[in-house]
């Protein structure tokens, strides 16, 4: 049976250098990260400037408006300060997820360290900007207003725990979805080849996992977008806390 | 490309490495291979910083400018349309007022002319009537005088005739005064 985990292996293409004893390698993942960057850059810079947009320009403008509206609705117009960051995050995750669905490719966000780094970037941005913008008032984030004094300590503890678990839930959600989706796809796809090797009956039987693989690919396309969107909207909600800390 | 990053560090035979990592709790599972983390973080930082720079410096300003320009052009066109509509409405209103004043003036002129004509025709009529009345009066006076003259002539003739008749009957001319008095009395009775 084909190993469904095989697709997540990182193959070293060349060594960039060393940090201490640690080898820093240019891997499959690096290549797909750069591919995503190149694709986004080509798409954004290649789009026309027509007054009446063509198909390609429409897609780019749709992405722009979509992310801009997401920020405006969940973090207010002040959140537009972070438009480049949120747009980069959304496009990077979305494009690498979509590229990852193509067979034989690698999915960047199926590695926890990638999603965790991105989540940590958002987390640190929230903390740094929160203190820079609001000073000590940022601590209001942990003290919701209108809570009876008796249960306030409990609520504050819960708020702090939930705040610090954000980067974990933020990153694991994306990572686990992409990982599980690709494992499932690979398992069903490998059933097709396994059953196909068993003669005529097997070939007929292979139709079921084949159909499921096709259906799952459609589902994964949706998940690829949805998870990028969820990551983006959570980013916006967290940034909103940095901008307006009082609940 | 063939060399597997992360597992390569171990330098052991692949089979035994896998068995070993299973025992270590997911060491063999690629997303949890800690040796790959620094490489991935470095790659991600490079890729994401590059993306951020491209997106924030070039891509978003460009797309934003295109969208703004479109919005501006749409707003401008709408404003132009509104302005033209206002202008046409103003022109329409001006035309209507012009029409109303022209109509009012026409009516005024008509009324004035009618009044003038009526007044002049009235004056003419009056003058005509007056002259007719004057003529009538003159005619009546002339008739009266003619009649008086005729009457006085009749009296003379009647007196002469009476005195002649009386002379013929009586053979003697009556006194002129008696004849005249008798003629006057007779004329008074018939007149």
pLDDT tens by residue, B67-92? 999 999 999 999 999 999 999 999 99
> Higher confidence at residue A203 or residue A84?
A84
Q: Mean per-residue pLDDT for A125-129?
A: 93
Q: What is the ipTM of this complex?
A: 0.89
Q: Which helix (H) or strand (E) holds A26?
A: strand A22-27
- B95 to chain A, any CB pair closer than 8 A? The answer is no
In terms of C-beta density within 10 A (0-12 exposed, 13-18 middle, 19 or more buried), how is residue B94 classed? Answer: exposed
**Cα torsion angle, A4, A8, A13, A15, sign:** negative
Asked whether residue B101 is domain-assigned, the answer is: no
pLDDT in tens, A81-98: 999 999 999 999 999 999
Residue A141: DSSP 8-state: G
What is the C-alpha separation between A231 and A38, in angstroms, rounded? 21
| Shortest CA gap A209–chain B (Å) | 25
Asked whether residue B96 is domain-assigned, the answer is: no
pLDDT in tens, B139-179: 999 999 998 888 888 878 888 888 888 888 887 777 878 88
Nearest to A130 by CA among A184, A166, A169: A166
Asked whether residue B148 is domain-assigned, the answer is: yes
| Shortest CA gap B86–chain A (Å) | 27
For residue A6, pLDDT over 60 is answered with yes
- B11 to chain A, any CB pair closer than 8 A? The answer is no
Whether B55 and A88 lie within 8 Å, measured CB to CB: yes
pLDDT of residue A1: 57
Task: Count up the domains in chain B and report the number.
Answer: 2
- A3 to chain B, any CB pair closer than 8 A? The answer is no
Residues of A in contact with B49 (CB under 8 A): none
Asked whether residue B131 is domain-assigned, the answer is: no
Residues of A in contact with B1 (CB under 8 A): 11-13, 28
Q: Mean per-residue pLDDT for A157-179?
A: 93
Quickly count: other Cβ atoms within 10 Å of residue A241's Cβ: 20
- A41 to chain B, any CB pair closer than 8 A? The answer is yes
Asked whether residue B58 is domain-assigned, the answer is: yes
Asked whether residue B40 is domain-assigned, the answer is: yes
pLDDT in tens, B5-14: 544 444 333 3
Residue B61 is part of which domain span? 36-66
């Amino acid at each position: 049976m084909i190993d469904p985990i095989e697709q997540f292996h990182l193959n070293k293409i060349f060594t960039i250098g060393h940090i201490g004893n640690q080898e820093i390698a240019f891997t499959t993942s690096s290549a797909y990260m750069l591919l995503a960057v190149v694709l986004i850059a080509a798409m954004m810079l290649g789009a026309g400037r027509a007054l009446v947009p063509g198909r390609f320009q429409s897609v780019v403008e749709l992405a722009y408006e979509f992310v801009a509206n997401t920020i405006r609705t969940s973090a207010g117009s002040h959140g537009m300060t972070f438009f480049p960051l949120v747009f980069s995050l959304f496009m990077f995750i979305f494009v690498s997820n979509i590229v990852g669905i193509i067979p034989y490719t690698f999915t960047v966000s199926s590695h926890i360290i990638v999603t965790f780094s991105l989540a940590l970037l958002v987390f640190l941005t929230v903390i740094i900007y929160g203190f820079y913008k609001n000073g000590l008032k940022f601590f209001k984030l942990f003290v919701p207003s209108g809570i009876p004094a008796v249960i306030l300590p409990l609520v504050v503890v819960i708020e702090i725990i939930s705040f610090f678990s954000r980067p974990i839930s933020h990153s694991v959600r994306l990572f686990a979805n992409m990982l599980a989706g690709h494992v499932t796809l690979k398992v069903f796809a490998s059933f097709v080849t396994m059953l196909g090797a068993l003669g005529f009956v097997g070939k007929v039987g292979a139709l079921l996992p084949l159909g499921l693989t096709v259906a799952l690919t459609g589902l994964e396309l949706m998940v690829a977008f949805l998870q990028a969107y969820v990551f983006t909207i959570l980013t916006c909600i967290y940034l909103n806390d940095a901008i307006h800390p009082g609940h | 490309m063939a060399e597997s990053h992360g597992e390569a560090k171990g330098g052991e035979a692949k089979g035994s490495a896998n068995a070993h990592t299973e025992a270590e709790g997911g060491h063999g599972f690629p997303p949890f291979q800690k040796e790959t983390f620094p490489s991935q973080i470095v790659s991600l930082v490079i890729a994401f910083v590059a993306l951020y720079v491209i997106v924030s410096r070039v891509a978003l300003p460009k797309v934003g400018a295109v969208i703004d320009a479109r919005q501006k052009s749409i707003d401008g066109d709408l404003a132009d349309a509104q302005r033209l509509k206002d202008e046409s409405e103003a022109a329409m209103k001006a035309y209507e007022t012009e029409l109303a004043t022209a109509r009012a003036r026409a009516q005024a002129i008509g009324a004035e002319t009618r009044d003038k004509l009526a007044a002049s025709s009235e004056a003419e009529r009056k003058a005509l009537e007056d002259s007719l009345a004057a003529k009538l009066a003159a005619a009546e006076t002339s008739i009266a005088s003619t009649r008086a003259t005729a009457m006085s002539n009749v009296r003379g003739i009647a007196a002469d005739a009476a005195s002649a008749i009386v002379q013929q009957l009586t053979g003697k001319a009556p006194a002129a005064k008696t004849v005249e008095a008798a003629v006057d009395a007779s004329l008074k009775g018939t007149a």
